[in-house]
Amino acid sequence: MRINEVSSYGILQSINNRPNFRRDFAIHSRWGANFNKQTGKTNFQLFSYPDAKAVFVEIADKTLGKMSNVKERIVQVLAAAGAVLTIKEILPQDRHSRIYRMQHDGAGVYKADGITAKPEDKYRYIIVTADNKVNLVKDPYAKKQENINGWSSIYDMNNYEWKNTAWLDGKDSRRIVRNKQANLRGLEKLIVDEINIPTLTKNGTFAAAISKIDEIASAGIATAIELLPVENTYSMQWGYDGVDKFAVNEKLGGAVKLKELIDYAHGKGLNVIIDMVPNHIGPDGDYLPQTGPYEKGAGQFGGEFNYEGKDNRYVRDYMVNAALWWANEFKVDGLRLDMTKMCGSDYLLKQIVSEVNEHNPMVFLIAEDARENKESVTRYEVGKPDHETELKLIDMSVDFITNNNWSTTPQNIGFDSEWDFRFMHTLKNAIIGGTNLDVLDDRIKNSNYRVKYVMSHDEIGNEDGTRLIPKIISRYLDLYNKTYGESEAEKGQKAAHLGQKLAEFIVSKDFEVFSDEELERFEKNIGLNCFISKKDLRDAFCTAFAKQKLAFATVMTVPGPKMFFQGDEEADLSYFKFFRTFSNPKAELPTEEIIRQKGYDTNEIVARPDCIVGRIKSDGIFKNVNNKMRHFNRKLVSILNSNPALLEGQIVGTYTDYNNNVHIHHLKCDDNEILVIKNFGQGFYDKNYGYDGFPQYGVWEEILSSDAKEFGGELKAGNRRKDITYNNQNLSVAANSVVILRKI
């Protein structure tokens, strides 16, 4: 049932007579601990149990040290016995801390204003539940949390002075915004480099990433970086186990260093997107169930939020405020919301969109939804109500769900874009395992406003940790049938890792100098059950490299936002494994079970070193492979920027050549026309390829071939032609390559 269908059930009756639920920015920003520089005092606000007997805030002297455990200091509970036990007062352990009772403002909102406390002071909440249990918890709104099990720290909102103010004021034409403006770019210019701070450099910190920002900017390929979540966790990891939704992981460098990184990226012309995780809270360091009704129970990845159950209002606001916090405090240009279909509430998503659009109208929002491109995720409502009315509608819709146990869904959510899972899966299968050109044709024609990519962190790390080139090598050489294993899963994992080991070997100095005997011994030692010749290995790598270029070109030549994973723009061969370490070793799954599931150990200390970008140096006969791939992608971007049809044009026609495994799409924007010819087959067409669907009008010129020698190919056709017509095609199209033509 959709939101515009529920009025007959009374949900929309007397909407203007309902209480004013508008969340202006002052309301959003007062949660947690807020230090007032003018008064030198701190105000505290917490959402806890509406029926709690009492809630206190304890301020500790920071001289006590790290305060590594939030439960480490004893409190004295003074109670009056009787028919019903009454908690009268809670006293601190000693003079090193002070305890203040918080006032209940109703509905579970507790406040304590004008408290003597300053930035870096430690604090925790003491909650006396309805059944007289005393919970000692950290702040769910903590902006600084040095230890996921420790006390919270009061955050200094004035800890950084932003330098690139022209960017923040919307005066830098390189900035990308949700609604294209005359002096600012729209999402059609979005080319995202998805990066994981812990594996981007050996040190794995924000400070160390600065040098990589220089490299990304100078490469001239990406227009934005997307940071995997930096929500606070126990370890350096992917970040999707965040338990402190407002605090930056201190192991990466903390809030100030993150601001420096974002500011520096803006100065280099790079937009910054941050991932946030609204669908669950991590399984390590989660104190929300002891704090209030934030969760509805345990899910696959951790606690699931109570967005549509009893007392849900401030839980929804909690996640909305997290989105606004990243947008305002860290000046990001976009937010990507992780696996939105698993949030359990499309109304929560709609509320995030509404609030961010209201308070940060330039910030764009991207969903990872995976509901088969469900149209309502990115569709705007015609005649959209004003902000206040929209929030009332959301509140009342969720009230209706809660009170009637009746599922409803909004007609639209309104994200600006979403990850295109359909496009990714189809293209990945076409590149690695063969083609289904009918499906590919459909995906290309229907992905213009969605984010297109070949592989993200998930398709690499959640499978076997290997990137595209090793995966292609594994399939090309049929390594599944050339290794040992007790199950299909084990053989598949071993085949993938053999592809990785062979890829690393092929680009090494040893590859060219090894004798057949040495090669056979090497292959046996890594787990192959038969010999693969040097020629076959070389052919496999050349094919994989060609397919990597073909994959990138397919993504880049479909209008709309695009994305690649860190290092893929230069054919980096390092692993990207899922990794994490828990504060409580007992919370980890048994190592043997993890290895069986993933094919590798996920402990941070073991897995992370394998994943550092640039770990593998190409020193042999393929020593220029990284430069060639980077040069190819830079050339692609140059062609994009000089041809509006590729950025914001329409696909006016497609052609599928089943006999030769070739797909063509035709784009047009005003008088700019482009043909993109993609050969997914193994045939080489040397001046002899043509197709009936070629436009019968005009003269065309070749502006790019991925098989050109300058891009590491073996093109034999010589100079690019400028005399191509319907009657004079005679195109040279190499196996696993792309050719781009422009109408003269």
List pLDDT tens digits, range 298-323. Answer: 988 899 999 999 999 999 999 999 99
Q: Above 90 in pLDDT, residue 1? A: no
Domains with residue ranges and CATH for the chain: 31-153 (2.60.40.10), 645-743 (2.60.40.1180)
pLDDT for 127 equals 96
As a whole number of Å, the end-to-end CA separation of the chain is 52
Mean pLDDT of the chain: 92
CA dihedral sign, ordered 581, 587, 591, 595: negative
Band of the pLDDT at 22, cuts 50, 70, 90? low
pLDDT for 226 equals 98
Helices (H), 268-303: 288-291
Mean pLDDT of all residues in 662-678: 97
The Cα–Cα gap between 742 and 38 comes to: 63
Mean pLDDT of all residues in 14-18: 44
pLDDT digits (tens, 9 = 90+) for 141-153: 999 999 999 999 9
CA gyration radius for the chain?
Answer: 28
pLDDT digits (tens, 9 = 90+) for 605-660: 999 999 999 999 999 999 999 999 999 999 999 999 999 999 999 999 999 999 99
Band of the pLDDT at 10, cuts 50, 70, 90? very low
Higher-pLDDT residue of 414, 717: 414
The secondary structure of 494-510 as a DSSP string is HHHHHHHHHHHHHTSTH
Mean pLDDT of all residues in 395-413: 88
Q: Above 60 in pLDDT, residue 454? A: yes
**Least confident residue range of 77-86, 165-174, 476-485:** 77-86
| Contacts of range 537-540, beta carbons closer than 8 Å, 24 or more positions apart | 537/477, 537/502, 537/505, 537/506, 537/511, 538/506, 538/621, 539/476, 540/472, 540/473, 540/476, 540/477, 540/502, 540/506
The Cα–Cα gap between 3 and 409 comes to: 6
- At which residue do the structure tokens 């070949």 appear? 454
3-class secondary structure per residue, 621-652: CCCCHHHHHHHHHHHHHHHHHCCHHHHHCEEE
**Least confident residue range of 124-138, 219-233, 487-501, 581-595:** 581-595
Mean pLDDT of all residues in 190-194: 98
Q: Which two tokens stand for residue 716?
A: 């034999």
Band of the pLDDT at 16, cuts 50, 70, 90? very low
Strand partners, 153: 122, 144
Q: Above 80 in pLDDT, residue 21? A: no
